Amino acid sequence: MIRVAMLSFWHVHAKDYAKQINEHPDTEIVAIWDEIGERGRKEAEARGVRFFESLDELLAQPDIDAVVVDTPSNMHRDVMVKAANAGKHIFTEKVLATTIREANEIVAAVEKAGVKLTVSLPRLNDGYTLAIQEVLEQGLLGELTLVRARLSHGGAVANWLPAHFYNLEQTGGGALIDLGCHPMYLTRLFLGLPESVTASYGYVTGKEVEDNAVAVLRYPNGALGVVEAGFVNKFSPFTLELHGTEGSLLFGTPDNRIVLRTSKLGEEASKTWSVKELAANRSTAIQQWVGHIRNNTVATENIALALDLTKLMEASNLSVQSEQSVKLSELGQEDGARWL
């Protein structure tokens, strides 16, 4: 049995991960720490597990094998480096960290300690994503020239998001770094890492963080990625669009189905849109994490995509601050003073 500690219930998804940990036959929650003591104590009491006032004390326990990190994003680096140094495996809600420098520090500590890290990037495992990857591998779209991914809910309009999700210091940003992670890592998955990012944020409900965001990714081959996220649209479907020189593919417009038109599958497929079956979902991020712990494997692709996601988010935030296009090669450098 892998004995897991929950590190904070700050994130709205913390309870979901706790549920998955409890439901998994190989894992159980044995302890809780929270940067807000009252919140953590309450969760520990309800679950009948130990609560630790001190993170260091928790991490010093030899009968804790692993941690799930759901603290504010700006604490990720400190919490995860400590956890890795204490030899604990780590599952964490995205983003891994809000800057690539901090993300690299986490990954370095994880590699040094030889613990298993997995970042929650759940839509990598969904059937539509896997079906789209299949279409791309078959070359049915030709050269991919535009990917557009949109995810929005109405949380800021209907006011059901917790207030701390608008705390810029804790979150590192609003709609884009929260919801926008999903369209961002999917765009990165399909198109690769861009040369530069240009982002535009809107503040519809007047919060400290943006509640409306578009980031445009530019690639050396002329392709563009458009990543959209918002907290101000309750009926906006989750949408993916991929356009290439030989075909186009749409998902979620608004139905949760993939339609495809391509010149690569004969005359009928070049004249009409056909439905592409979704693939089966892959095992969840939590299941993958447990698998890596059990099999002593490394979540290589997951970690690489998580690092790229942080790069893209940091570049987006810097682009809005500077009102300029930001090259990814300029991130995380000691002399990065142009952005300050």
Q: List interacting residues with a second copy (CB under 8 A).
A: 142-143, 145-146, 148, 150, 152, 154, 157, 198, 200, 202-206, 211-214, 216, 218-219, 221-224, 226, 228, 230, 232-237, 243-248, 250, 253-254, 259, 261-263, 270, 273, 323-325
Instruction: Find the shortest distance in angstroms from Cβ 215 to a second copy.
Output: 9
Nearer Cβ to a second copy (281/322): 322
Nearer Cβ to a second copy (78/246): 246
Instruction: Find the shortest distance in angstroms from Cβ 127 to a second copy.
Output: 20
Q: How far apart are CA 195 and CA 209, in angstroms?
A: 26
Instruction: Find the shortest distance in angstroms from Cβ 257 to a second copy.
Output: 11
Q: How far apart are CA 269 and CA 336, in angstroms?
A: 49
Instruction: Find the shortest distance in angstroms from Cβ 141 to a second copy.
Output: 9
Nearer Cβ to a second copy (72/247): 247
Instruction: Find the shortest distance in angstroms from Cβ 190 to a second copy.
Output: 15
Residue 92, classified by CB atoms within 10 Å of its CB into exposed (0-12), middle (13-18) or buried (19+), is buried
251 CB-near residues (< 8 Å, 6+ apart): 128, 132, 239, 240, 241, 257, 258, 259
Q: What is the dihedral of CA 51, 44, 105, 219, to 10 degrees?
A: -170
Nearer Cβ to a second copy (49/157): 157
Nearer Cβ to a second copy (13/264): 264
The Cα angle at residue 335 between residues 330 and 339, in degrees rounded to 5: 60
Instruction: Find the shortest distance in angstroms from Cβ 219 to a second copy.
Output: 7
Q: If you ran DSSP here, which 8-state letter would residue 302 be given?
A: H
Nearer Cβ to a second copy (22/270): 270
Contact 92, 119 (CB under 8 A): yes
| Sheet with strand 144-152: strands edge to edge | 274-276, 258-262, 247-251, 239-244, 144-152, 224-230, 212-218, 196-202, 326-327
Nearer Cβ to a second copy (197/285): 197
In degrees rounded to 5, what are phi and psi of residue 192? 90, -175
Instruction: Find the shortest distance in angstroms from Cβ 281 to a second copy.
Output: 24
> For residue 260, what are the β-bridge partners?
249, 274
Q: How far apart are CA 239 and CA 28, in angstroms?
A: 36
Nearest partner of 80 among 56, 51, 60, 110, judged by Cα: 110
